[in-house]
């Protein structure tokens, strides 16, 4: 696994914008990297595939454990929504996707799971569309990627379609984020290709008529994909309507994903699968015997409020507004480092299938919302 450089395409911004990719740059700093890539071999691609499949099975075991043992307090999940979580799990309400983030140690050829973005993962559009067309532009059919995201999304929507409530699947996100809207519209487009009738409604425009959720046309919302975190929903006044909904709206992602999107799951996984080679040692409330570790808020997003410790001394931290909900302590993983920065590997699970990877690169050893997306090639 190493960086390889290409001759820069001076027209790259226009090229990606033609794909509908409008957030490639952040305040003049590129988010999308066009002129270099990560070169990996088939063995590493297969290793990531196998690790993702195994961790997905372990995560499902962990959800069952949390629900049957009623360990919701460890996750700071409000009591009123717990029965809804249990119903969504017992009724096999389907999940469409998730992204595991890995640290990769080249010298040991080992992958370690950093966390699981199980509820509202983004960079799907970059992986499934922009990265693919980048490959076609520079390499045409001479190279390959670990990337069947687009096909797997369509296949999974087709699998889910018979189990949706109602005739229309609504798609929702906030109005203020082009990134969220692009990812939501991409998912919506693949659902349309799967033969599903869809409707976009922004989160702020979802109404409540006293009995069930409605869109701007006063039509009932019976099934909805929402790129909006469950932990936000359940801590807003809006959230109580979820359990009072007479139509029992089907949510994608389902509320049982609230368990997997919470950093508490890292400590649960370590309890259930101690010393597993894909896991980093993780604990609630204390680092125990660890001397090199990171301290993560349970609900932290985009690398916010994370502290890094070496020999029990904090050497780096990130700002943010999280932490009141509690922390987990996770063994420190050494991120792969090139001259361009530190990198992590994101591996997508769509339906039940690992199907694509993303590389994100940062100037610092904690990956934040300022990270860069790096395409990859198998060669």
pLDDT tens per residue across span 189-229: 999 999 999 999 999 999 999 999 999 999 999 999 999 99
Q: Is it the case that residue 153 has pLDDT exceeding 90?
A: yes
pLDDT at 323 over 90: no
5, 35 contact by CB (below 8 A): yes
Q: Which two tokens stand for residue 53?
A: 């499949």
| Contact yes or no for 262/231 (Cβ under 8 A) | yes
Q: Which two tokens stand for residue 23?
A: 């957030």
CA 377 to chain centre: 22
Residue 27 has pLDDT above 90, yes or no: no
pLDDT digits (tens, 9 = 90+) for 331-348: 999 999 999 999 999 999
d(CA 34, CA 13): 9
Sketch the domain layout of the chain as residue ranges: 2-261+335-378, 281-331
Specify the pLDDT at position 141.
86
Report the pLDDT value the prediction gives residue 278, as an integer from 0 to 100: 98
277 Cβ neighbours under 8 A, 6+ residues apart: 110
Q: Kindly state the helix (H) or strand (E) to which residue 159 belongs, with its residue range.
A: helix 149-160
Q: Helix, strand or coil for residue 152?
A: helix
| Contact yes or no for 167/364 (Cβ under 8 A) | no
| DSSP annotation of 126 | I
Q: 175-213: b or e for each residue (b if 16 or more CB lie within 10 Å)?
A: eeeebbbbbbbbbbbbbeebebebbebbbeebeeeeebb
Q: Which tokens in the block code for residue 376? A: 């990859």
Mean pLDDT of 141-166: 96
Q: What is the mean pLDDT of residues 123-138?
A: 97
* pLDDT of the residue at 158: 98
Torsion over CA: 85, 87, 92, 95 (sign)? negative
What is the CATH T-level fold of the domain 2-261+335-378, as seen in this structure? Rossmann fold (3.40.50)
pLDDT confidence of residue 110: 97
Asked whether the bond before 253 is cis by omega within 30 degrees of 0, the reply is yes
Q: How many Å apart are CA 128 and CA 346, to the nearest integer?
A: 13
Contacts of residue 133, Cβ cutoff 8 Å, sequence gap at least 6? 15, 16, 19
Q: What is the mean pLDDT of residues 258-267?
A: 98
Identify the CA nearest to 257 among candidates 95, 109, 79, 100.
Answer: 95
pTM value > 0.75? yes
Closest to 349 in 3D by CA, of 32, 65, 124: 124
**Rounded Cα distance, 37 and 49, in Å:** 20
CA distance 6 to 195: 39
Helix H or strand E encompassing 344: strand 341-350
Q: In the predicted model, is pLDDT for residue 368 greater than 90?
A: no
Q: Give the sign of the dihedral formed by CA 8, CA 14, CA 15, CA 17.
A: positive
For residue 67, the surrounding DSSP H or E stretch is helix 42-68
pLDDT at 26 over 90: no
């Amino acid at each position: 696994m190493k960086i390889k450089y290409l001759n820069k395409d001076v027209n790259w911004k226009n090229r990606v914008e033609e794909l509908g990719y409008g957030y490639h740059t952040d305040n003049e700093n590129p988010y999308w990297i066009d002129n270099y890539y990560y070169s990996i071999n088939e063995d590493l691609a297969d290793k990531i595939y196998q690790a993702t499949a195994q961790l997905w099975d372990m995560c499902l075991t962990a959800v069952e454990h949390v629900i049957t043992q009623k360990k919701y307090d460890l996750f700071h999940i409000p009591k009123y929504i717990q029965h809804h979580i249990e119903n969504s799990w017992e009724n096999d309400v389907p999940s469409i996707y998730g992204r595991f983030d890995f640290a990769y140690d080249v010298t040991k050829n080992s992958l370690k799971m950093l966390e699981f973005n199980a509820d509202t993962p983004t960079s799907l559009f970059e992986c499934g569309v922009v990265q693919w067309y980048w490959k076609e532009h520079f390499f045409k059919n001479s190279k390959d990627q670990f990337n069947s995201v687009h096909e797997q999304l369509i296949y999974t929507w087709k699998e889910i379609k018979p189990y949706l409530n109602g005739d229309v699947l609504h798609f929702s996100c906030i109005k203020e984020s082009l990134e969220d809207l692009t990812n939501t519209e991409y998912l919506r487009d693949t659902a349309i290709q799967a033969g599903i009738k869809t409707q976009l409604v922004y989160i702020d425009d979802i109404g409540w008529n006293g009995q069930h959720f409605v869109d701007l046309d006063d039509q009932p919302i019976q099934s909805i994909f929402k790129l909006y975190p469950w932990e936000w929903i359940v801590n807003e006044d809006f959230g109580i309507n979820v359990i009072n909904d007479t139509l029992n709206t089907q949510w994608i992602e389902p509320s049982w994903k609230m368990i997997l999107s919470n950093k508490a799951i890292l400590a649960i996984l370590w309890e259930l699968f101690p010393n597993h080679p894909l896991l980093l040692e993780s604990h609630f409330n204390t680092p125990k015997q660890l001397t090199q570790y990171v301290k993560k808020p349970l609900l932290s997003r985009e690398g916010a409020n994370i502290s890094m410790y070496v020999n029990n001394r904090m050497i780096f931290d990130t700002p943010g507004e999280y932490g009141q909900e509690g922390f987990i302590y996770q063994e420190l993983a050494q991120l792969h480092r090139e001259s361009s920065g530190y990198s992590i590997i994101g591996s997508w699970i769509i339906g039940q299938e690992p199907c694509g990877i993303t590389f994100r690169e940062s100037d610092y050893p904690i990956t934040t919302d300022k990270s860069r997306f790096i395409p990859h090639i198998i060669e």
